[in-house]
């Protein structure tokens, strides 16, 4: 089964109040967009197309190896997918998601690909007490998904629905591109809604399914306040994982660890430290306050305090205090 993917990243994100493309804001140690890219690769995506528009050059520079489609005018999610004509004749399944959902796990996306094998479309949903601005998942009496109704188009009764659309879809690729031409702009936003494909496919007798996922994974980023909330959630989850692996993080609230960092055993990490990038920390290492380490290897039995270690290799049994250590620095163990 071929696994294709489309990441929607063309919008400016005006609520961020920034000149940057929203998905290029940093989250711990990399742009927001890097997280869904990584999750898709781990889920086995064979081909990933990023839909870019606003500040497209910044995306292309940051993700030089990626494949891009351009959306010059932002006329809705359906219009964005229409730009991905390079996938039109591909076999298999195409997963469509936004670029501002960094908490989605690879396991969740892999499950979506697997479920799609038996359906024309499978989408992720979540159950919320207050559906707020999210589209509602409308089912018939037998529980079959019939439509997604955007919040601005909901009737008062539909607004009471607690199952919301999480904005992540996996289509049979042939059904996707055969139906895109049937989208219209007859809605409150006058845009081409990708969600209208639910109703279009269901009307053709095609199977449409929704599977509920963890709402925390669905968290999108539209404001810097939401970025801060996601930052805290992600930092806490990474720290919790390493605590469970035996890393002694003295104060997790004041410790930042990147998702690709690796630790050996019997490591102690004191507060006010940042350990980022592709860093590997050996066994019996002590990392004291005011330390910032990125893309480096720290040898066993080393002690680092109030230092910056950037793209460097620290030998075993090193003791480094109040130093800046970069690639090529001569370190005396």
| Residue-wise DSSP of 293-307 | EES-EE-TT-EEES-
Spatial neighbors of 316 by CB under 8 A, at least 6 apart, are 282, 299, 300, 301, 302, 333
Q: Is 168 helix (H, G, I), strand (E, B) or coil?
A: strand
CB 47 within 8 A of CB 4: yes
What number of CA atoms fall less than 13 Å from residue 156's CA on the CB side? 0
Q: Is 254 a catalytic residue?
A: no
Torsion angle of C-alpha atoms 88, 60, 258, 110, degrees rounded to 10: 0
Catalytic residue, from 15, 30, 136, 303: name it.
Answer: 15
- Which tokens sit at 278? 């592709």
Could you give the 3-state DSSP secondary structure of residue 59?
helix
- Measured CA to CA, the distance from residue 298 to residue 314 in angstroms comes to 5
- Looking at the annotation, which residues are catalytic? 15
């Amino acid at each position: 089964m071929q696994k294709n993917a489309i990441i929607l990243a063309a919008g400016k994100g005006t609520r961020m109040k920034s000149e940057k493309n929203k998905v290029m804001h940093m989250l711990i140690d990399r742009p927001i967009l890097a997280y869904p890219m990584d999750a898709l690769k781990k889920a086995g995506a064979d081909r990933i197309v990023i839909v870019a528009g606003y500040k497209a050059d910044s995306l292309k520079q940051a993700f030089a190896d990626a494949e891009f489609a351009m959306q010059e005018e932002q006329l809705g999610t359906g219009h964005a997918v229409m730009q991905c004509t390079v996938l039109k004749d591909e076999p298999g399944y195409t997963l469509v998601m936004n670029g501002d959902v960094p908490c989605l796990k690879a396991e969740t996306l892999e499950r979506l690909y697997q479920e799609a094998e038996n359906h024309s479309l499978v989408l992720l949903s979540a159950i919320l007490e207050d559906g707020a601005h999210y589209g509602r998942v409308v089912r018939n009496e037998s529980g079959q998904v019939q439509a997604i109704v955007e919040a601005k188009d909901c009737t008062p009764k539909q607004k009471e629905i607690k199952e919301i659309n999480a904005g992540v879809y996996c289509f049979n690729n042939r059904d996707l591109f055969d139906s895109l031409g049937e989208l219209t702009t007859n809605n409150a936003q006058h845009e081409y809604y990708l969600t209208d494909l639910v109703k279009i496919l269901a009307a053709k007798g095609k199977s449409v399914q929704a599977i509920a996922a963890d709402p925390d994974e669905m968290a999108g980023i539209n404001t810097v306040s939401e970025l801060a909330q996601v930052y805290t959630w992600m930092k806490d989850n990474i720290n919790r994982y390493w605590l469970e692996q035996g890393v002694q993080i003295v104060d997790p609230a004041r410790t930042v660890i990147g998702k690709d960092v690796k630790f050996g055993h019997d490591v102690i990490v004191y507060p006010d430290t940042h350990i980022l990038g592709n860093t590997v920390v050996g066994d019996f290492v002590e990392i004291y306050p005011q330390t910032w380490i990125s893309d480096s290897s720290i040898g066993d039995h080393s002690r680092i305090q109030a230092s910056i270690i950037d793209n460097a290799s620290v030998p075993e049994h090193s003791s480094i205090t109040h130093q800046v250590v970069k690639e090529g620095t001569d370190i005396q163990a």
